[in-house]
Amino acid sequence: MDWQVLTRELSLYLESQVRVGLFGSGVGLSLVLGFGVAYACYYLSSIAKKPQLVASNERFCRFLEEYCPVVTETYYPTIWCWEGRVQTLLRPFITSRPQVQYRKCVVFNNRGIAGEELLFALSLKADKKAYDGIFPYDSLQTPRTYCAANTEDLEAVIHHIHDLYPSAPFMAAGVSMGGMLLLNYLGKTGRDTPLMAAAIFSAGWNVFESVESLEKPLNWLLFNYYLTTCLQSSISRHREMLEKLFDMDLVMKARTVREFDKQFTSVMFGYRSIDDYYEDASPCRKLKSVGIPVLCLNSVDDVFSPGHGNSFSSLLAIPVETAKQNANVALVLTSCGGHIGFLEGIWPRKCTYMDRVFKQFVQAVFEHGNKIFSM
């Protein structure tokens, strides 16, 4: 073989491709089209899927299928960012925030101001239908913050609202840790609550599984360290008040959520150990006692409620079997969506899949709730 001739021919061919252009030669266009077709086939076969609806109560299932049909429709996550961690990271920067006017209302319980910034009662404007909303907030007046297991503040807010509007239909929704708090409240109260229904989004069901997942190297880098610094920042503003009870220097050295909870949260709420706190904070242990209709949306690729990949059959933290034992509970599990992500559309600026579930379920409960309240 004459390597000089071969080299010269190859050089001439490459020069011609540069002059013609990759797409002008047809080779590049074929590659791009081939890759596009392959990617579309993979997306449609492995990524875009109908959510799994888990509910033992046939009446609840029919209610959701008729009045909240989004839970049975194929969820098409944003084609260029369907992976769970990417959705989780991008959602705060991509989605727009509606302009909402607030009127402050201060609620006092037996130890100070009651509030939880991760939980809201209701706010919805859709299809020319408007519902009043209450968003509890956190304002530290005593040397005690909040945790996922303690529901005293939430109970105070719920009963205060009910006393103000005793005849108004009343439901609640919780997101992430707010969802955990709301589930723990519902598990504690059973049917003895003014709420008629609840919606839960991206709750961490098993805290042990959640913190273990967050301590994996990539998840620690992307989420755990940032969350820990946020927790430290939230209490550093009140350091003068808190340092009488805690070794704040040790608390501020925490590098994971588990370390922070061990040095601060579990101590503040009187738990003997971090394991005792995490067991009490895990909603999966109280799900059997929920006494009102509750719709829970989770993605199986959520690092806060980890599974293995995006398979419905390999869930670790989401209590599917326990949910089947309670007629008041319905789980909606998507294969993608991450933690409070659920982005959809080419450019998911305004509305997410979670927003649509929330909108339809709230409207269904307020307008047709009598069809499930006799369960």
Bridge-partner residues for 331, per DSSP? 54, 296
Is-catalytic flag, 11?
A: no
Q: Give the C-alpha separation, 168 to 157, whole Å.
A: 15
Residue 315 is given by DSSP the state B
Q: Which of 176, 210, 213, 299 is catalytic?
A: 176
Q: Is 352:99 a contact under the CB 8 Å cutoff?
A: no
**Helix, strand, coil shares, percent, the chain, to 5:** 45, 10, 40
List all residues 6 or more positions away from 349 whose beta carbon is below 8 Å from its beta carbon: 94, 95, 96
Q: Is 245:235 a contact under the CB 8 Å cutoff?
A: no
Q: Give the C-alpha separation, 129 to 169, whole Å.
A: 15
Residue 325 C-alpha from the chain's centroid: 23
Residue 83 in tokens: 């992976």
List all residues 6 or more positions away from 144 whose beta carbon is below 8 Å from its beta carbon: 111, 112, 268
Burial class (CB in 10 A: 0-12, 13-18, 19+), 136: buried
Query: Which backbone phi and psi does 222 adopt, to 5 degrees?
Result: -85, -35
Q: How many of the other CB atoms lie within 10 Å of CB of 202?
A: 26
Q: Which of 153, 202, 335, 339 is catalytic?
A: 339
Residue type, 250: L
How far separated are the first and last CA of the chain, in Å rounded?
A: 83
Is-catalytic flag, 339?
A: yes
Q: Which of 153, 280, 302, 355 is catalytic?
A: 302
Q: How many of the other CB atoms lie within 10 Å of CB of 19?
A: 9
Is-catalytic flag, 308?
A: no
The helix (H) or strand (E) run that includes residue 120 is strand 119-120
List all residues 6 or more positions away from 275 whose beta carbon is below 8 Å from its beta carbon: 208
Residues noted as catalytic: 176, 302, 339
